Amino acid sequence: MPGARHSLWDVMRDKGYSRRDFMQFCTFAATAAGLGTQATAAVAKAFEKKDRPPVLWLHFQECTCCSESFIRASHPLVADVLLDAISLDYQETLQAAAGHAAEKCKNDVMKNYAGKYILLVEGSVPTKENGVFCVIGGRTAEDLLQEAAKGAAAIVAWGNCASYGCVQAAKPNPTGATGIQKLVGKPVINVPGCPPIADVMVAIVTHILLFGRLPELDAQGRPKEFYGRRVHDTCYRRPYYDAGLFVESFDDDGARKGYCLYKMGCRGPVTNNACAVTKFNGGTSYPIQSGHGCLGCSEKGFWDNGPFYRHLPSFPGFGIESTADSVGLALGAGAAVGVAAHAVSTNIRKRKLIHDQVAEAVQDTPVSEKVD
């Protein structure tokens, strides 16, 4: 396969897609990149001429939910094109090749397209015990990652795992799992979520293919377009939040009416993601629409911020049932008791002092004012 790289249009045509399919894909790519449909012609031109870059997709410590999400993009044509024509030159779950053939394909890409290929990473990388917790083909995850990252033109971290470590990195993090950003020393596009939204994943890949550069990122390396707002900012239950109408338990009247899930521990107000706009499964629904609060699955360390069904996490060091309020209330009560005890003791221990002062004051007062 390496050597004769063709444009996207060449590949699609060879695989039997019609010109119409191609134009549909270009329309999608234009909107996904935020350009609007009037840019379709320019996009089509680019995809006709430009050589498509090879794409490598590596799997480390993960559950494959990112891959599962990816293949469920809302427009089936888009997923088809990306899987079929863009060709994931190496994707352990989906590739047809196996064993040495697959490895050869990957090595060829890394050699022949150094500095040109796109690297997509799913899963976290263990760093403890020299990385023995994730070894593929006799090599550690970190080794494989570093090798592939060296010549990559763009690196994408799929999901919370590759971005922040996800559940593997939850306390006490036995394998020393970590996201890839701090390992590769290059800019990484973090696309957190458990899993990330299929259409967001597709849009990011299309953006890179189209422009050949990274989308605009925020301070945490997330594409601003999809992670610039909190779930809460676009949640359709928001009017109930402002009105102070909350679900108090999952079987109450408020739950039936679709009140806000804030008091059920909804993490929407502290979670940056596009769920409420893009939704899942082709725009069908997202967790809050199904009556369950947001878990904050696209935030760093969300597994350690439990319990999930309470507004705030338990207070560090005081056990699972503690809240900042229970600890604070105890301290407040302690202070009140302490102050009361101090007041009593003052009147006993400083009796003489106060007595003297009063005596002095009485003495100092002019005789005419000593009424009694």
Residues engaged in binding ligand HEM (CB under 6 A) = 269, 312
Q: What does DSSP assign to residue 284?
A: T
> Which C-beta is closer to ligand SF4: that of 126 or that of 268?
268
Q: Return the residue matching tokens 């449909």.
A: 37
Measure CA 364 to chain center.
74
Tell whether residue 268 is a contact of another protein (CB under 8 A): no
Q: Least distance to ligand SF4 from the beta carbon of 105, Å?
A: 33
Tell whether residue 81 is a contact of ligand SF4 (CB under 6 A): no
**With CB cut-offs between 5 and 8 Å by kind, which of ligand HEM, ligand SF4, another protein, none does residue 224 bind?**
none
Tell whether residue 2 is a contact of ligand SF4 (CB under 6 A): no
Q: Least distance to ligand HEM from the beta carbon of 269, Å?
A: 5
> Which C-beta is closer to ligand HEM: that of 312 or that of 341?
312
Determine whether 188 is exposed, middle or buried from the number of CB atoms within 10 Å of its CB (0-12, 13-18, 19+).
buried
Tell whether residue 265 is a contact of ligand SF4 (CB under 6 A): no
Distance CA 141, CA 124 (A): 9
> Which C-beta is closer to ligand SF4: that of 69 or that of 140?
69
**With CB cut-offs between 5 and 8 Å by kind, which of ligand HEM, ligand SF4, another protein, none does residue 292 bind?**
none
> Which C-beta is closer to another protein: that of 101 or that of 335?
335
HSE toward the beta carbon, residue 249, CA cutoff 13 A = 2
Length reported for the chain: 372
Q: Least distance to ligand SF4 from the beta carbon of 130, Å?
A: 33
Q: List alpha helices for the chain, DSSP H.
A: 8-14, 19-32, 40-49, 65-70, 76-80, 99-112, 141-150, 159-164, 181-184, 198-211, 224-227, 231-234, 238-242, 253-257, 275-278, 324-349, 351-364
- The tokens for 140 are 């550690």
Q: What does DSSP assign to residue 158?
A: E
Q: What does DSSP assign to residue 270?
A: G
Q: Least distance to ligand SF4 from the beta carbon of 295, Å?
A: 4
Q: What residues make contact with another protein under the rule CB under 8 A?
A: 219-220, 229-230, 233, 239-246, 248, 253, 257, 262-263, 267, 269-272, 296, 299-302, 305, 311-313, 315, 324-325, 327-329, 331-332, 335-336, 339, 342-343, 345-346, 349-350, 353-354, 356-357, 359-361, 363-364
